[in-house]
Structure 1
Amino acid sequence: MKMNHSFRLSVLLTLTLTAACCWTSDAFAQRERPTIKNRLENDDSNDDGKVTKDEFSGPPKLFERLDRDGDGQIDIEEVVGNMSVRRPENGRNPSPRAPRGVEVKRDVVFGKGGDRDLKMHIVLPESKPSKPLPAYVWIHGGGWQAGSKEGGVNQVARIVAEGFVGATIEYRLTGEAPFPAQIEDCKCAIRFLREHADQYGIDPDRIAVGGSSAGGHLVALLGTSGDVDELEGSGGWPEQSSRVQAVVDLYGPTDFSKFVTTKGFESHNRDGSPESKLLGGGDVLGNDKGIRRVNPITYIDDKDPPFLIIHGTSDPVVPANQSQLIHEALESAGVETTLKLIRGAKHGGREFADPEIRDLITTFLKKHLQPSE
């Protein structure tokens, strides 16, 4: 007796979900029955909306099932959208469940990006603290042309559990506007949190930022550009400072000239590359003014906050020299900086979810965001 097409699909989905329920890793050991979307978003270490084989923490056979088009990566929204979910009577998708121990205030409008609202998710501890807490703001990656704030909820939830308020923000992508729109939106988010510090229980003098890949570039730029007027933008809250007190930069570009001339990375110089799109198009080399304006290294001075910089030595997307260069430049300026190179690690992946790396980030943030006496 032959199975019909719909029955075979039903069996495949059942097997996939069964495997997913058994899929465990350090990243999810503290959660109760996380959804497959939660798991995939946590694996998506550079927040580009896709999970590669290197990033995936589940069994290989499950990866093959979820990689529907066989291109070597899982599109999170496509996988989740294809799963049969019963909707409420109002026809709207239910909000994703917050990670255990935190409350998520979703889609808080923090300013204007051009003519539209910009939004962030604010992640608060479930138990109301007795005094203001430091904030940790996550900025997603995705080559400045993709990604979203959604994966950042899981990124900051672990830090919130250590006595922080968290936020994960959106910013205009290059399909909407070139640089400096991206950093203007990030700075607006910091100013918003300072303006509304009392409302969310934040100490406005203790704000840290973290991000990976393109997000690593933007947090490094937040750290070095301080109150540089030409990058502030007009999104809102101009009376507040956009300075931050600590930076966690995960494999972000920092010197575009050195980046696109590094052996094996020359394709990033071409028109149409993510770096080209950020600068408004054309070859990267030759756009000296644009390169200088976009490079975090340009703005370094001795007033910059401490940096923690983490990069894989085998990164095929952003060369490790980008982290080495900014580390050396910060040291030369007298800024406290720590560089951690993960031997053999690529562009994100499970090595960055290792307990040693997570402890390194948490310890760094706690050290540099202690309350002033």
Structure 2
Amino acid sequence: MKFRRFSQFSLRIAFAAFVALLGCDHAFAQAKATQLPAGIKMEKDISYIPEGDVAQKLDLYLPEKAAENPLPLIVHIHGGGWRGGSKFPCAVAPMVLKGYAVASVEYRFSQKAIFPAQIQDCQAAIRWLRAHAKEYHFDIERVGVVGGSAGGHLSALVGTAGGKNALPKIGGNEEQSDRVQAVCDIFGPADFNTVVQQAADDKNVKNIFEFNTPGDPYSLLIGTRLDDKAKADAVSPVHYVSKDNPPFLILHGTHDTLVPYAQSEEFAAVLKK
């Protein structure tokens, strides 16, 4: 199968997210935590699952001046080893000034709930956003997702598992799709079956934890050792790849000290088949 070309929207949303995550928007980078650049308004801590967990919330960034046409939506998923990090502040929020709506999603951490809780939360948030598209003036046919590290892993899972009913749904809005039209995966782990050996083979990787121990974020996420193949398969974006996946942009530094570069090489090769 030939590698699928990016649509114009996919290229724009992936590049826009990449630029923002690099911190190229000086105005936002210099803003105080409680201050947004002029022209952006924010709705904070919106529950995407009514009466759900305290973590099941998102922040929404919109233009202060209503757009004439429905806006493409960037969904940002933060990193933090599936056990930390925060949806705020959101590095992609400046993309509102470039014609996008932005949602930054919080999810349950692995100390509280093991996989698939994290991807279920992200998919529930996407369905909630689609269900409220008219209220917030989104274009439900142009939804992209971006994240780095653990957020890259979850973004990749949203891309490969979305729209397939591969995982039990939570949070309602099941009439809405959790499929997205573009993915920007920034150094996210892609295959839990191969990450241990790839880390051992990569001279740049200097993990601050030992795999298959209580301090290992990979094992903590799935609730067991990584040699449990069924659970390692279930959590791995590479396991869900199919010919109808949306376009991907994968970004990964060759000298990454935490996630082996080979993870993204392996994932890209499977996506291209």
Normalising by the smaller structure, the TM-score range is: 0.7 to 0.9
- 1:99/1:157 contact within 8 Å kept: no
Supply the distance in 1 between the matched residues of 2:63 and 2:75 (Cα, whole angstroms).
15
Partner of 2:6: none
Which residue, 221, 231, 246 being the options, matches 1:278? 221
1:98 maps to 2:36? yes
Structure 2 residue runs without a partner (length 5+): 1-21
- Provide the TM-score with structure 2 as the length reference: 0.84
User: Which has a greater percent of helix?
Assistant: 1
Matches within 5 A, 1:203-222: 203-222=139-158
Matches within 5 A, 1:291-370: 291-332=232-273
Partner of 1:191: 127
SS in 2 for 1:136: strand
- 1:246/1:306 contact within 8 Å kept: yes
- 1:268/1:275 contact within 8 Å kept: no
Partner of 1:81: none
SS in 1 for 2:48: strand
Deviation at residue 113 of structure 1 after TM alignment? 8.7
Which is greater in Rg?
A: 1
- Provide the TM-score with structure 1 as the length reference: 0.62
- 1:156/1:166 contact within 8 Å kept: yes
Supply the distance in 2 between the matched residues of 1:215 and 1:32 (Cα, whole angstroms).
20
SS in 2 for 1:158: helix
Supply the distance in 1 between the matched residues of 2:40 and 2:255 (Cα, whole angstroms).
35
Aligned residue identity for 2:125? A
Partner of 1:336: none
- 2:238/2:267 contact within 8 Å kept: yes
Supply the distance in 1 between the matched residues of 2:55 and 2:256 (Cα, whole angstroms).
35
Deviation at residue 228 of structure 1 after TM alignment? 3.1
SS in 2 for 1:260: helix
Structure 1 residue runs without a partner (length 5+): 1-24, 39-95, 333-373
Deviation at residue 160 of structure 1 after TM alignment? 1.6
Aligned residue identity for 2:267? I
- 2:23/2:29 contact within 8 Å kept: no
- 2:144/2:182 contact within 8 Å kept: yes
Aligned residue identity for 1:127? K
1:163 maps to 2:99? yes
1:242 maps to 2:178? yes
- 1:187/1:232 contact within 8 Å kept: no
Which deviations, in whole Å up to 9, do the C-alpha atoms of 1:1-42 show, x marking residues without a partner? xxxxxxxxxxxxxxxxxxxxxxxx97463359623xx4xxxx
SS in 2 for 1:30: helix
Which residue, 95, 108, 132 being the options, matches 2:46? 108
Supply the distance in 2 between the matched residues of 1:330 and 1:32 (Cα, whole angstroms).
34
Distance 1:168 1:33, change over 3 A: closer
Which deviations, in whole Å up to 9, do the C-alpha atoms of 1:158-209 show, x marking residues without a partner? 2221111000010000011000000000000100011000011101111000
SS in 2 for 1:271: coil
Identity %: 40
1:226 maps to 2:162? yes
With 224-233 and 109-118 compared, the bigger mean Cα shift is at 109-118
SS in 2 for 1:137: strand
Supply the distance in 2 between the matched residues of 1:226 and 1:159 (Cα, whole angstroms).
24
Matches within 5 A, 1:55-134: 96-111=34-49, 118-134=56-72
